[in-house]
Structure 1
Amino acid sequence: MCRAARFQFEGRRFEYYFTQYRARLPLLLQTGHCSLVTWGRRRNESGGFPFGASVRLASIQAGHWDALQPKPVKIAIPEFMETDVMGHEHWFQVMAGQYLQGMLAQKGNQLRVYTVQLDCNAEDTFFENWPRIVNSPF
């Protein structure tokens, strides 16, 4: 899963690891502006959202998230961090015009964003999963 993100929002630089309290990610809106939304749910947080930072694309397609009104969103970050199968951290840059795909979940008036993950073949890569990268425009 995407474990950390670096980005700028309203002139400030942010670096959030998912495990941090109140970790948030910037979502690109169709207006071209960004909005910060709470990233997933940590084990020590209350609420009705599932635990974790990410969701597998196949589980969205299978309808497992339908109760939370899932919507595809674009996460506007220039850098993200993944951990390889040996536990080492690696930072990656996102190319201009590309975004991490997110899934916006809603429960009542609360929103959470989860990164969308693709499964990787351990024989072909050093990572167990990888964030889905999408292009603009909307």
Structure 2
Amino acid sequence: MCGGVTFQQEQETIRTFFPNPKSCLPVRSKRGQIVLVPWGRREKQPGFTPLGGWARLESIHSGKWNNYNPRPVKIMIDGFMEKDQQGNSHWYTLGEDEFIQGLLTEDAGITRIYVVTITDPQSQHKSTRWPRILKHQENNLGE
């Protein structure tokens, strides 16, 4: 389900995990720059966006996120971590031409990023959710 990520920032390898309330994900801006954006919302954090750090693709298509000015973005990471049903961590590496689709939201002046997920049999997590991995030339929403 993508509970942690690794990426490069200023020649340093960063590992961050969703449970950390200060976690940010690297997002490619419209101008091509990499910007760090807070990852999801946790209890006691301000705003009204959904709690958690993930957005199901089908919930995006059904309009659940429409009140939060949603925008598809590219999360530029090297790899991600998923826990299996026993709680063991497994790391997966993305190819150089791949990214994880993110959903950028705005609410009460706060911008947040959510990892877009799909149901996928390769997920070892009990939710069977897997981050939506795309190649740079693909349409972000797959419509």
Relative to the length of structure 2, the TM-score reads 0.87
Q: Secondary structure at the match of 2:105?
A: strand
- Structure 1, unmatched stretches of 5+, are none
Provide Cα deviations, 1:56-111, integer angstroms capped at 9, x if missing partner. 00000000000001100000000100112222110000111110000000114310
RMSD (CA atoms): 1.7
Equivalent of 2:124 in 123, 126, 129: 126
Look up the match of 2:70. 70
Q: Secondary structure of the residue that 1:85 maps to in structure 2?
A: coil
Matched with 1:135 is: 135
Structure 2 counterpart of 1:107, which letter?
Answer: D
Q: Secondary structure at the match of 1:51?
A: coil
Task: Return the alpha-carbon distance in structure 2 between the equivalents of residues 5 and 70 of structure 1.
Answer: 22
* In 2, Cα distance between equivalents of 1:31 and 1:125: 33
Aligned equivalents of 2:47, 2:108: Cα separation in 1: 11
Q: TM-score, normalised by structure 1?
A: 0.90
Q: Which runs of 5+ in 2 are unaligned?
A: none
Provide the identity percentage: 35
Q: What is the correspondence of 1:1-138 to structure 2 with a 5 Å cutoff?
A: 1-121=1-121, 126-127=124-125, 128-137=128-137
User: 1:33, CA displacement in angstroms?
Assistant: 1.5
Q: How many residues align?
A: 136
